[in-house]
Amino acid sequence: MALSRPAQRTAILLVNLGTPDAPTAAAVKPYLKQFLSDPRVVEIPKFIWWFILNLIILPIRSGASAKKYASIWMKGPDGGSPLLVHSKKQGQALEQKLLAQGKNILVDTAMRYGNPSLESVLKRMQGLGMERLLVLPLYPQYSATTTASTFDEIFRIIGGWRNQPELRIVKHYHDHPDYINALKEQVEGYWQEHGRPNFEAGDKLLFSFHGVPKRTLDKGDPYHCECHKTGRLLREALGLSPDQAMVTFQSRFGKAEWLKPYTAPTVQALGEKKTGRLDIFCPGFPADCLETLEEIAMEVRDDFLTAGGGEYHYIACLNNSPAWISGLAEIAADHLAGWPQMPESPEALALSLERAAQLANKKAG
């Protein structure tokens, strides 16, 4: 008879890009410094970039960015940065979803830059008995500037541990059927509530992805191709033609050429053509954030209307929609195969039930 062995704690770590702790210049400055000091993000010689960053960008951009964050900061006891609020809700909903499926898996959320930091969350998970770790970045499309940077930091942190967990990482899920289905349901749900664009009359739907410098594509980064594949699969799922739904890239920074077409000039051109209705959706952002709520829902909207466009509709990101939480669970399941998920010790089981009760009470409250 085979001897039974105790199950080891399996954990999922959701990781998003990051956010300042408050919508103030004092809070934004260290966040921007950490973010823009990452050589994966800015591929400029360190000596040159140090002067540009510290003497020009941070003194000017910190205050300007703080005002933008203030315009979208969520109020109330459970408020804060939308990116962090929605990302945490995704983690809590995913853990509840897995518990409902009989899978006792610890789920937590961290930010690559800012708080809660990767190091603090990983240490907390280690303290809860984590022995197996699945890293699931909230970046559906792989890029060295986001996904690889996250993996770099996780390897650095765990590299210093004496007792390291078994580790799996999710590189991308840009074409996962459940991710595409969640995007489709998000768009169609908006249309059910606000009406469908009249595509036959020339209305348009834009899929706006975060941009990166074109040189990343030239060096072999697959991000550009994965964004276009996501856009094509979503367009086909919605039954639209390439002329009706287009892929664009936003958030350009600096003078270098970035991935094209750029979102803002495209929207302005559509406004100048007197487009009757323009809907914009950001499939690469699973959670609403500064780039979607301020840049797309406010700044780009003003560009379209000022140029002479008609109706402008911003479609919210996936956030914690039921279809997306189910999609996250399926994506995780694909990478968890073969790992034990239920604790055998009474102590571990009691801890899991207590955690489930805490999540249920928080949701009810």
Q: Residue 51: its pLDDT value, please?
A: 92
Q: 102 in helix, strand or coil?
A: coil
CA distance linking residue 290 with residue 284, whole number of Å: 14
Q: Is the pTM of this model over 0.85?
A: yes
The CATH number of domain 9-173+322-364 is 3.40.50.1400? yes
Q: Residue 341: its pLDDT value, please?
A: 63
For residue 291, with 0-12 CB atoms within 10 Å meaning exposed, 13-18 middle and 19 or more buried, which class applies? Answer: buried
Is-same-fold flag (9-173+322-364; 177-315)?
yes
CB 225 within 8 A of CB 209: no
pLDDT tens digits, residue range 59-102?
999 999 999 999 999 998 889 999 999 999 999 999 999 999 98
Q: What phi-psi label fits residue 336: left (phi over 0), alpha (psi between -120 and 50 degrees) or beta?
A: alpha
Q: Residue 3: its pLDDT value, please?
A: 41
Q: Residue 135: its pLDDT value, please?
A: 98
The residue extents of the domains of the chain are: 9-173+322-364, 177-315
**What does CATH list as the number for 177-315?**
3.40.50.1400
CB 248 within 8 A of CB 259: no
Q: Residue 364: its pLDDT value, please?
A: 58
Q: What is the pLDDT along the chain (365 residues), one digit of tens a residue?
A: 344 444 569 999 999 999 999 999 999 999 999 999 999 999 999 999 999 999 999 999 999 999 999 999 999 888 999 999 999 999 999 999 999 998 999 999 999 999 999 999 999 999 999 999 999 999 999 999 999 999 999 999 999 999 999 999 999 999 999 999 999 999 999 999 999 999 999 999 999 999 999 999 999 999 999 999 999 999 999 999 999 999 999 999 888 999 999 999 999 999 999 999 999 999 999 999 999 999 999 999 999 999 999 999 999 999 999 999 999 999 999 999 998 765 544 454 555 556 656 655 665 55
Q: 36 in helix, strand or coil?
A: helix
Query: Does the CA dihedral 85-91-92-97 come out positive or negative?
Result: positive
CB 324 within 8 A of CB 118: no
pLDDT tens digits, residue range 126-145?
999 999 999 999 999 999 99
Q: Residue 8: its pLDDT value, please?
A: 64
**What is the number of residues in the chain?**
365
Q: Residue 254: its pLDDT value, please?
A: 83
The conformation of residue 8, written as its DSSP 8-state character, comes to P
SS in 3 state form for 110-178?
A: EEEEECCEHHHHHHHHHHCCEEEEEEEECCCCCCHHHHHHHHHHHHHHHCCCCCCCEEEECCCCCCCHH
User: What does residue 262 show for φ and ψ, rounded to 5 degrees?
Assistant: -75, 140
CA distance linking residue 331 with residue 178, whole number of Å: 8
CB 264 within 8 A of CB 58: no
pLDDT tens digits, residue range 33-71?
999 999 999 999 999 999 999 999 999 999 999 999 999
User: What does residue 277 show for φ and ψ, rounded to 5 degrees?
Assistant: -150, 135
Distances (CA, A) of 208 to 11, 21, 183, 192: 32, 26, 13, 21
